[in-house]
Structure 1
Amino acid sequence: MTTFADRAIPYYHTLTAPTNLPPGLGVMNPYQEPAVQAIVSEFYGKFYNDTTPRVFVLGINPGRFGAGVTGISFTTPQNLDRYCGIANSLLDTGPSRRPELSSRFIYQVVDAFGGAGDFYGRFFLTSLFPLALTKDGKNYNFYDDRLTTDALWPAITEAVRTQTGFGYDRRVAVCLGRKNETYLHRLNDQQGFFDRIVTLDHPRYILQYKAKSVATYLDRYITTLHDCLDAQ
């Protein structure tokens, strides 16, 4: 029996950065680090060691203080330890001490859903492009300029195609981010990965611009996630 974890772990352990990025753009590939490879193996072995199809929840591309450090989507070293029960040496490194708004909100969602075991037992958090992008020392999105989008589009297509092979429920996907929705729909129109896509506001947007309404957005997330499961 080949599990979700059996497929996911080798993918991340062998993930390579593209070589065709436009000038001035950086890419972070933590998956070449032994500490991150150990985290990936432990995380997927703990939460995905089965053949249950997951509902995909897709962001844009990782941030440099979340998956750019840990290799786990929307997960800082602190949240990996606190919510997932995975102690890690990354807690002692400088960049890991920086907060990431997206991770903070996502783990409020995970906690409200019932905890990491319940959440990851039904959902797979990932991104259209699996590696963190940087420009001028800041996070950068694959859609922030057309040259980058065009350069990465084949890699994005292949990343989503490969990850659906881990074991996914094609009937619905959750898109994080209103602008991201445009690109996920374009991808889906080309490739037919999902029957239906529902969109939620991006976690960073919520905490950066709608902090007073976090409870409302949290309820919206939980309701949407349960609706996706009920529709199965």
Structure 2
Amino acid sequence: MTVADHILRFYQTLTPPDGLPADVGVMNPYKDEEAWRVTTAFYQKYYSDTNERIILFGINPGRFGGGITGVPFTDPIKMEEDCSIPNAFDKRAELSSRFVYEMIDAYGGPKAFYSKFYISALSPLGFVRDGKNLNYYDIEGWKPLFEHYALDRIREQLPFPCSRQIAFSIGQGQNLKFLQELNKKHGLFDAIETVPHPRWVMQYRTKRKEEFIQQYVERLGQA
């Protein structure tokens, strides 16, 4: 099996954690016909090999990016323009996707980046409340809901194969803390590193965007 085969099978079997509050909606694009077509095209394009990759864990997909296309940090615009995969989705931009693809371009482009790295999330499914994005750690009583859920999803992805030497948290706050706790308890990776969350950069540090792009490129390159 190729890495693409493993990833697509993983996405096909995803279910949300049990016990979510009634007011929390779940985004599962892999049940949508067009999203599944796009997801399949993407992973078959960039992951049709058996090479090991370093995994980067985001928080959970957003409703304008991975929550639509099925590919983390990839909105319909970047999917079409940067990955050359046409799609029928509304072409609405996501800030995080814009940053990530500027970073990927600085790294050498999608083919070079995705040959070395695999982007996932501690929750591969996204959440909404009142029509707005919701991070898993902002859900009431999230810890008991997500501790085993996140651990099981990580373990399912390691045989793709993903490197056990190092993994990255995309985000330097609660997402990093949670990943570090899981790693300390279960010994998943030799080391956990971190890079700033694209949304934080684009929302609060836009003037320093190029600095953070270079920070990504350097840290990922050293890994």
Please, what TM-score do these two structures have when normalized by structure 2?
0.95
For the residues of structure 1 that align with 2:76 and 2:183, how far apart are their CA atoms?
A: 32
For the residues of structure 2 that align with 1:209 and 1:134, how far apart are their CA atoms?
A: 22
Q: For residues 142-184 of structure 1, give each alpha carbon's deviation from its aligned partner in whole angstroms, at most 9, with x where no partner exists.
A: 1114512321222211111111121111111111111111001
Q: In the alignment, is the contact (CA less than 8 A) between 1:12 and 1:40 conserved in 2? A: no
Aligned match of 1:178: 172
Matching residue within 219, 222, 231 for 2:214: 219
**Stretch of structure 1 that moved more, 117-126 or 153-162:** 153-162
Q: In the alignment, is the contact (CA less than 8 A) between 1:142 and 1:148 conserved in 2? A: yes
For the residues of structure 2 that align with 1:34 and 1:158, how far apart are their CA atoms?
A: 26
Q: SS of the residue aligned with 1:89?
A: coil
RMSD (CA atoms): 1.3
For the residues of structure 1 that align with 2:18 and 2:168, how far apart are their CA atoms?
A: 29
Aligned match of 1:99: 93
Aligned match of 2:37: 38
Matching residue within 169, 173, 188 for 1:193: 188
Extract unaligned runs of 5+ from structure 2.
Answer: none
Structure 1 moving runs of 4+ over 3 Å: none
For the residues of structure 1 that align with 2:62 and 2:186, how far apart are their CA atoms?
A: 26
Matching residue within 136, 139, 155 for 2:133: 139
Identity %: 40
Q: In the alignment, is the contact (CA less than 8 A) between 2:29 and 2:70 conserved in 1? A: yes
For the residues of structure 2 that align with 1:185 and 1:17, how far apart are their CA atoms?
A: 22
For the residues of structure 2 that align with 1:42 and 1:13, how far apart are their CA atoms?
A: 14
Aligned match of 1:88: 87
* 1:202 is the counterpart of 2:197: yes
Q: For residues 99-136 of structure 1, give each alpha carbon's deviation from its aligned partner in whole angstroms, at most 9, with x where no partner exists.
A: 21111100011111111000000000110100111112
Please, what TM-score do these two structures have when normalized by structure 1?
0.92
Aligned match of 2:53: 54
Extract unaligned runs of 5+ from structure 1.
Answer: none
The amino acid that maps onto 1:209 is Y
